[in-house]
Amino acid sequence: MKKLSVQDVELRGRRVLTRVDFNVPLDAEGRITDDTRIRAALSTLEFIVARGGIPVLMSHLGRPKGQRQDKLSLRPVADRLAELTSIPIRFANDCVGEPAKKMVDDLKEGEIGLLENLRFHSAETENDPAFAMQLAELGDIYANDAFGTAHRAHASTVGVTRHFDQRVSGLLMDKELENLGSLLGNPRRPFVAVLGGAKVSGKIEVIEFLLGKVDAILVGGGMAFTFFKGHGIDVGKSLVEDSLIEKVRAISELAKESTTQLLLPQDVIVSSEFGEHGERKEVLVTDIPENWQGLDVGSRTLAQFSDVIAKAGTIFWNGPMGVFEIPAFAKGTRAIARAVAKATDAGAQSVVGGGDSVAALTQMGVAQQISHVSTGGGASIEFLAGKPLPGVDALSDASSLPV
């Protein structure tokens, strides 16, 4: 069901309480190292202001666990937002109570207000009704532009919506739902899903859901070793989720009976120890030495995966092929980034989500070649697994528009 959009409602003179995703990465000194998420929200914020609305922004940053932490304040985000737009920015040093009310009361048309970190209050993640009501008092209409948090039923994504007649999606949310929705609607064939990451537990449901819906699933990263062990292969000290071995065996059998080709790595880069200093070599997955661990996919695998990707009409990629944060084991992830970008240039539709996958695109300088870079890794996976997203379900349906 298409959701009511910020483009569909009257905004002039109305305070638009807007959930954004300003959960940006910070260095040890608290400086923003990547402002992609702030930039991604600009189109919605500038649209609201251009239509005469007054954006009141809510976001979390990090995991302060209900405690005020200066290093996780959104003040640096407010400063960066002020650098990225000519619209004046006001900041409240709390998201509820008198500081928030005063900031909102002082806001004028043509300005943006940003509230302090929602998660300085444990009531946010608990979806506390009283906290949600306090947030709701700060706006006349509710907008959600934070797809990255849409899979969380928190006060700012679900609880607060009960106090608004009009609950709209922002332009970024519209774009996310349109692009991800097209993957499950009528994708160009072949449709290839590339799934990586450390644990199969984070992807098991999407693999199961996509069987019979995509033409190929390429599995890399640490999650592949649970499949190998399920097939009776000795994986040394590689990461394995023993509780899921029976489940991955069942999925492998289902794949054989479906129209989906489930491809696992043929070879891997192994190391005598985790980190940069161990001895490394490339081996077939059947030849992993005892006490060694697999930390990246090998050259045969990259050749095979790249060939499948090159022939794709639609590509969804989420998750690294190895321990991407260690340069010695980033080759596989970077190669997939190049392959997806090249296939997109050749006419494929590509959607990429997940922090490491997006970071690889950026490092390789090919992010602009991708059809859609999703701002929500976990949310995109749950969407592709056919799960409801509470933050999306809470928005008004487009059918609520007056005829």
Residues with catalytic roles: 37, 199, 355, 378
Contact 146, 391 (CB under 8 A): yes
What's the rounded Cα separation, in Å, for the pair 348 and 339?
Answer: 11
Alpha carbons 343 and 204: distance in angstroms, whole number: 26
Per DSSP, the three-state class of 57 is: strand
Furthest CA-CA distance within the chain: 68
HSE (side-chain half, CA atoms, 13 Å) at 5: 14
Contacts of 211 (CB under 8 A, 6+ apart): 217, 251, 254, 255, 258, 260, 262
Q: Is the dihedral of CA 25, 55, 172, 394 positive or negative?
A: positive
The DSSP code sequence of 273-330 is SSSSSS-EEEEEGGGPPTT-EEEEE-HHHHHHHHHHHHT-SEEEEES-SS-TTSGGG-
Number of CB atoms found within 10 A of residue 340's CB: 31
Strand order in the sheet with 280-284: 280-284, 267-271, 293-297
Query: Collapsing DSSP states into helix, strand and coil, what is residue 262?
Result: strand
